Structure 1
């Protein structure tokens, strides 16, 4: 178990309790005392789950969750808050949280809620969606809007890998190793050829979906047209 969990909580004692509870269960926990730093990290490399307090300095948890949902619909989010009125729970869930746990809480229940949210994410993972693209991993079907895009096996694997790692730049060697295999000894131009073919089928001039970082690699960044 090595799922990454971000905990955004301004109370140091509560942060330590959550850290101990989750780390002892094998999770990789990153702690934040404010939402701004957490949002920056989530934009660069989203975790498998985020736990947000509501009352935070500078930016409250609900506002932060709304900002996350503008670009990331899949990240499981658990609100952990002392606000226990029904209206507070409804507001948190309506603004994009997947679950809501009130303080004081038991570490066993917290761990159970975390496991449940992570299981839910695994079930969803067979379908990937962006603004205009969708990939069904069960049927290997790629759609652009409502149109099915016919891809070769390598083109499909490239698109899927870039999309699943859209939070970062994927280096050329990593793509060659992952798609062609660690024992690949052919020309690295094979990657360029397949990227060019993939862009052609997606009507992408290099600014719409797949961005090139010269001499480094590629990153999936869907432009907002």
Structure 2
């Protein structure tokens, strides 16, 4: 089970976020101070550190610098209420891989967490569902044995749907994961990409099998395994 260290001193944020991460399948440890976060991150086998910049006793930026120096392989996702672009740049310079501003949407934070966690998946990771195969490292897609060329967002959309095959995914979840912006939910961006993707994988061919990508009206989409 992938391990996440959540460094957040606000219980109103830490508890629900820890529960959400646990539901996603992560083993979660919570640290409430800067020194605790630093020591646990350096001494533990964590894949991801979710780090609030405003920790007591030790600034999150200092925690990040020390953790990055001692554990270069750990991914760091910063949480910050600071909205100045300079603060974001300083955070990235300190070694963070990504950041999310407070208040944040849970779907967006989960999407960024999954993206960082994919770095820790074993080499040669592949997906094979309903006659579609994805080689995630080569970014190669085959449908019933035939190569299919997908644009970047089409590839990321298909990968996300296949990774969560059988699950109903809301439009907000998909937009946050693939585009990094759930605010696009009122646009036609997702619908257009679903249409293009269906055409390329053969879901719109007359007389073809039942659609792999199913629309659940008013909610989102589901990739149906055979």
Q: What TM-score, normalized to structure 1?
A: 0.53
Pairs aligned (count): 125
User: Match of 1:55?
Assistant: 54
Aligned to 1:117: 116
Counterpart for residue 71 of structure 1? 70
Structure 1 residues without counterparts, runs of 5 or longer: 126-225
* Alignment partners' CA distance in 2, 1:77 and 1:124: 21
Cα displacement (A) at 1:41: 1.9
After the TM superposition, which residues 162-181 of structure 1 pair with which residues of structure 2 at under 5 Å, given as runs? none
Distance in 1, Cα, partners of 2:108 & 2:64: 22
The residue aligned with 1:43 is 42
How far off its partner does 1:64 sit? 0.4
Whole-angstrom CA distance in 2 between matches of 1:89 and 1:42: 21
Find the residue that maps to 1:109 and give its secondary structure.
helix
- Any unmatched runs of 5+ in structure 2? 125-226
Distance of 1:42 and 1:50 partners within structure 2: 7
1:156-198 CA-to-partner distances (Å, cap 9, x unmatched) read xxxxxxxxxxxxxxxxxxxxxxxxxxxxxxxxxxxxxxxxxxx
Which deviations, in whole Å up to 9, do the C-alpha atoms of 1:44-80 show, x marking residues without a partner? 2230100000011110110000011222111000001
State whether residues 7 and 29 of structure 1, in contact with CA within 8 Å, keep that contact through their aligned partners in structure 2: yes
2:32 aligns to what? 33
Q: Name 2:86's counterpart in structure 1.
A: 87
The SS at the match of 1:88 is helix
2:4 aligned counterpart, secondary structure: strand
Residue 114 of structure 1: how far off its partner (Å): 0.4
Question: What is the RMSD computed on CA atoms of the aligned residues?
Answer: 1.9
SS at match of 1:52: strand
